[in-house]
Structure 1
Amino acid sequence: MGGKQPVTIMTDQCSAMDKAIREVFPKSRHRLCTWHIGENAIVNIKGVMAKDGFKPRFDYVLKYTDTIAEFQHYWNSLMTDYNCKTHKWIERLYDLKEKWCPAYNKEWFSWGILSSQRSETTNHSISRRLHKTNGLCDFYKCFLDVIDEWRSKENKGDYNSSTGNRYYSCADNMLCFHARNVYTIAIYLIFEQRFIKVIGLRCQRISYEFLVSEYIVGHPTKDFIRHVVKFNEQEMVVDFTCKSYGEIGILCSHILRVFIVHNVEEIPKQYIMKRWTKEAMNTIVEEGEDRDNEEYIGGVEGDGNVSNKYVRDETLLDVIEPSIDTVLPDVVEPIVEKVIPTMIQNPPKRKRKIKNGTEKANERNMRPKGIVEKKRNKLKGWNKRRERHVDNLREETQSTDKCMYHKFTCWWGFGSSNIFKFTIGSICSR
């Protein structure tokens, strides 16, 4: 790792691991896996988890709170409604809140990962190919196959990002056009989804001083807590309460809404994370290079001449090259004669059903789709399922609050300094 410590380390609730991380990686952010916490909750607070409505509210507090004030509000509400604040396991869990609550970890990059399932996925990729009777050599070969598969997928993604379809939804917006040229396809699609959410957000300026504008941004019906965004027009610096950029490295919809108000046409350089750009694909790794490259660099003299070793290689190539044309037809032609006729006799067909139930051959089910469109559709379906799940949890959690009637009427009447204090109160002051 070149002496650089990881930003975030995700583990289960192991005290020995906690101590080791503090000693070896003192600058890293140690976080606890929320999946393991949920499994431990089923064992340690079985009676409370069985109560009606506790589990979805507990999951929302565990995974989806954006600010510390929001977490404190919903946590206190949950403990009060189910009278479980004095439970020893819950007390220990609350003492460790900075290691598992997303609201306390927004400033550390983690790509929004809440569990250690990435390592479990790696284990599954290898275990599904092996059997308990396989030996060490079989494991090593399987491990190499998995690595080759991952690298092949990564190379395919790099190729698609550099030569893929240029189609995108927001073609006339300069901000999206700049993001499309900077980000890879996968990251741009996430950026585009966030940009589309801007349409439903309400933005109201509450103060303006020395080229610094302060806004309240949020959805008028979905967001129980709206976020404050401060934008410096001269330095192109943004200060915001949701802190999504520090966690994921992509600008959130609240900031993009303010950028649209100020007609910002390009993403500021300080808010473009290099790891998500096309430039990162072309980066040369200085350490761990291929040995052949090191030998080649060492074989080149200062005046640009090649050493005797590579002169011999060139001579050997001159000897082998004339015989390739004579040997290649004898090897390739039998294979071609065997494969090509089979493909011509039995070509692959894609059929579609007509309204009356009959099938018509040699017609495609749908129009051909580009690389970006396929990835967009796949990402859109996954995002919709996740957003639907989070929205259901949010509605179920917010429905328990006692101040649901005044949450919008009281919101806009208070200054920025009292927004969160007032809005997150358990009972409306009116």
Structure 2
Amino acid sequence: MMELYGHEKKEWFEQVYDQRHKWCTALNRDMFSAGILSSQRSEVTNKAISFNAKATTNLFEFYHIFEQTVKRWRSNETSDNFRNRTERPKAVKSKSKLLKHAADVYTLALYNDFETEYEWAMASFLRAFATENSQLKLFEVSPEEDFSNSHTVAYDEATTELVCSCQCFTETGMLCFHIIRVMHMFSIFQIPQQYILKRWTRLAKSAVWENVQADKDQSQNAQLWTPWRHAITKNFYNLVSICQSNEDARTLCDKSLKELYKSVKEVFKTDQQKQQEIEDEELRRQTVENPEVIKTKGRPPKGNKRVKGHFEKRKMKTRHPNEYGTKTPNVPQVE
């Protein structure tokens, strides 16, 4: 294009071409991106937030708008999780074993994408290449009869490994119709386990903490502790909610918490920094008494009378009990 339109010496076009690996999707298919483009994240965020926000919206109003947006997201996520656990696609009644397996594995949205790829696979054309390796087989798959738009699929019978030149699985984690066409040819009626990403399955949110607990590597990132922290916080919150209305239960909680702090101290005996953090937390948890009542400005507290001033006392002395004013008016006498 640069040669066609004569832009070889244009500095801006040269910079864009040098950075083609950042913006050209054909050059970054070897990286997992779930099929999301670079601009979609900001566009989706703007669409979700700006439905109520305006140019004059202040930070306080924006916070409430964002809070309601997050609640709506979580509500939709909970609803989708319930639907994925309880509903099944229509493919359950289909005669295709591969579609039945995909319906049992993938979520509803991902199954619809897989079904579309399956339809393309059944309508595509395939031809084999001669190879010296008896285990490795090469096929060319194309939706056109003349194979003008084709991709090469390599299939290893020993390991049931399938690799396509379009690199759709590497980029999105979903099998393309080229691989599905080869699977159908070799009567593979179940998706191989290595091509099922848990993030696309119905059990994507299950056993989160169990998987983390199984990994005993102490050098792992601190973010892996987040699921346990959320779970234990939820349990403590539920316990506080139950005990807050009963005095004996509250006393028992305070007593048990002190004993728990002592036990944790024993665990961190050699770690002085952790022990100091625990002691600081115990001091912070001590009961704070109400501050002393101080003299306030304006209206005094109930029960304390304000001292009247000189002019106010003088007014009360000169005021007539039967008149509104502070001085008897001069009334003309009538003879």
Q: TM-score, normalised by structure 2?
A: 0.61
Asked whether the 8 Å contact 2:89–2:108 carries over to 1, the reply is no
Could you say which residue in structure 1 is the equivalent of 2:107?
A: 184
Distance of 1:133 and 1:99 partners within structure 2: 35
Q: Kindly tell me: are residues 171 and 231 of structure 1, through their superposed partners in 2, closer, same or farther at Cα, counting changes over 3 Å?
A: same
The Cα of 1:171 is off from its aligned counterpart by: 1.2
Could you say which residue in structure 2 is the equivalent of 1:233?
A: 157
Asked whether the 8 Å contact 1:212–1:230 carries over to 2, the reply is yes
Larger Rg: 2
Q: Give the AA of the match of 1:124.
A: K
Residue 163 in 1 paired to residue 101 in 2?
no
Could you say which residue in structure 1 is the equivalent of 2:169?
A: 245
Q: Kindly tell me: are residues 205 and 290 of structure 1, through their superposed partners in 2, closer, same or farther at Cα, counting changes over 3 Å?
A: closer
Higher relative contact order (CA 8 A, sep 6+): 1
Task: Report the secondary structure of 2:204's partner residue.
Answer: helix
Q: Kindly tell me: are residues 235 and 156 of structure 1, through their superposed partners in 2, closer, same or farther at Cα, counting changes over 3 Å?
A: same
Q: Give the AA of the match of 2:232.
A: E
Q: Which runs of 4+ in 1 moved over 4 A?
A: 289-293, 295-299, 309-316
Could you say which residue in structure 1 is the equivalent of 2:283?
A: none
Q: Kindly tell me: are residues 136 and 170 of structure 1, through their superposed partners in 2, closer, same or farther at Cα, counting changes over 3 Å?
A: same
Q: Kindly tell me: are residues 119 and 218 of structure 1, through their superposed partners in 2, closer, same or farther at Cα, counting changes over 3 Å?
A: same
Pick aligned residue for 1:126 from 49, 72, 75: 49
Residue 294 in 1 paired to residue 218 in 2?
no
Distance of 2:13 and 2:139 partners within structure 1: 37
The Cα of 1:248 is off from its aligned counterpart by: 0.7
Task: Report the secondary structure of 2:205's partner residue.
Answer: helix
The Cα of 1:82 is off from its aligned counterpart by: 3.0
Query: Mind listing any 5+ residue stretches in structure 1 that lack a counterpart?
Result: 1-77, 300-306, 317-430
Query: Mind listing any 5+ residue stretches in structure 2 that lack a counterpart?
Result: 210-223, 248-335
Pick aligned residue for 2:22 from 78, 99, 104: 99
Q: CA RMSD in A?
A: 3.1
The Cα of 1:80 is off from its aligned counterpart by: 4.1
Paired residues, what number? 233
Residue 200 in 1 paired to residue 123 in 2?
yes
Distance of 1:283 and 1:119 partners within structure 2: 31
Distance of 1:132 and 1:311 partners within structure 2: 45
Task: Map 1:342-381; keep pairs closer than 5 Å.
Answer: none
The Cα of 1:215 is off from its aligned counterpart by: 0.8
Distance of 1:200 and 1:152 partners within structure 2: 39
Q: TM-score, normalised by structure 1?
A: 0.49
Q: Kindly tell me: are residues 132 and 225 of structure 1, through their superposed partners in 2, closer, same or farther at Cα, counting changes over 3 Å?
A: closer
Asked whether the 8 Å contact 1:228–1:241 carries over to 2, the reply is yes
Q: Kindly tell me: are residues 87 and 257 of structure 1, through their superposed partners in 2, closer, same or farther at Cα, counting changes over 3 Å?
A: same
Pick aligned residue for 1:154 from 51, 59, 77: 77
Asked whether the 8 Å contact 1:207–1:215 carries over to 2, the reply is no
Residue 218 in 1 paired to residue 142 in 2?
yes
Could you say which residue in structure 2 is the equivalent of 1:269?
A: 193
